[in-house]
């Protein structure tokens, strides 16, 4: 079950965190993985890890906010069976403390980046008679999170974008879903805590962990397992849906 043999998967932001976990698992399941990253070193390290384990992967350095760059890259890849729109950045602030430049930066990466990848991938998937798209949204698309104005706005757009793509391309045999993680323990989280709460790392980590009713942060591997199911043939009847993976945050915190 859940084999991705003979499938080509493009994973943006695949060099670290959730994207890396998805890249490793998809390669393990037989996919040829194309890691699209702004951070060339991170992409290369993930590719090396995959190939050392006997998998197939290539690294591509690309700024997903630049449409022509994305189109050229995707056309060079050719066949894309699976697209994971995972690249994204965060921002801390409410509407009054979010400057125009900050807002534009988040939207350019999180929203425009996903749009550019969809724009580039859709003709290829249609020519190939189908495909699967998985967008990384967030619980921020469904609930109010303090001081996450720009980030929440971007993830709400990803959720709506998912529904639109699913509706428009259902008759082209293209499925589109999104996942909405709560806090996942990634290097980004460790860096955020270190940069903003120096000397209080353990305290803040514990506080953030317990904000999920289940009592801990999620693991990238757990998110990757959900992504694998949604991108596999076993999920062939699933499209136009959002899947929270949040330790009970949305339901049990209300």
- Residues annotated as catalytic are 151
Q: What is the C-alpha to C-alpha distance for residues 6 and 116, in angstroms, rounded to an integer?
A: 25
Q: What is the C-alpha to C-alpha distance for residues 91 and 147, in angstroms, rounded to an integer?
A: 8
Q: Is 130 left (phi over 0), alpha (psi -120 to 50) or beta?
A: left
Element (H, E) at 83: strand 82-85
Which distant-in-sequence residues (6+ apart) come within 8 Å of 47 by Cβ? 35, 57, 58, 59
Q: What is the C-alpha to C-alpha distance for residues 246 and 183, in angstroms, rounded to an integer?
A: 7
For the chain, the residue count is 254
């Amino acid at each position: 079950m859940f084999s991705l043999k003979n499938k080509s998967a493009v994973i943006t932001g695949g060099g670290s965190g959730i994207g890396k976990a998805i890249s490793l698992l998809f390669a393990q399941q037989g996919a040829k993985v194309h890691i699209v990253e702004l951070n060339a070193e991170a992409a290369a390290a993930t590719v090396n890890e995959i190939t050392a384990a006997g998998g197939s992967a290539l690294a591509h350095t690309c700024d997903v906010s630049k449409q022509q760059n994305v189109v050229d890259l995707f056309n060079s890849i050719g066949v894309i069976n699976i697209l994971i729109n995972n690249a994204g950045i965060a921002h801390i602030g409410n509407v009054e403390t979010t400057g125009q430049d900050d807002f534009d930066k988040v939207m350019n990466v999180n929203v425009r980046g996903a749009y550019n990848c969809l724009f580039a991938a859709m003709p290829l998937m249609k020519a190939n008679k189908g495909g699967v798209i998985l967008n990384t949204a967030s619980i921020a698309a469904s609930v109010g999170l303090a001081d996450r104005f720009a980030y929440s706005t971007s993830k709400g757009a990803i959720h709506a974008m998912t529904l639109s793509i699913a509706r428009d391309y259902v008759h082209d045999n293209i499925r589109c879903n999104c996942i909405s993680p709560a806090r996942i323990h990634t290097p980004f989280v460790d860096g955020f805590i270190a940069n903003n709460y120096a000397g209080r790392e353990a305290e803040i980590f514990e506080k953030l962990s317990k904000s999920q009713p289940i009592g801990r942060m999620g693991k990238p591997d757990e998110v990757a397992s959900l992504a694998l199911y949604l991108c596999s043939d076993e999920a062939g009847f699933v499209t136009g849906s959002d899947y929270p993976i949040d330790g009970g945050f949305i339901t049990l915190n209300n």
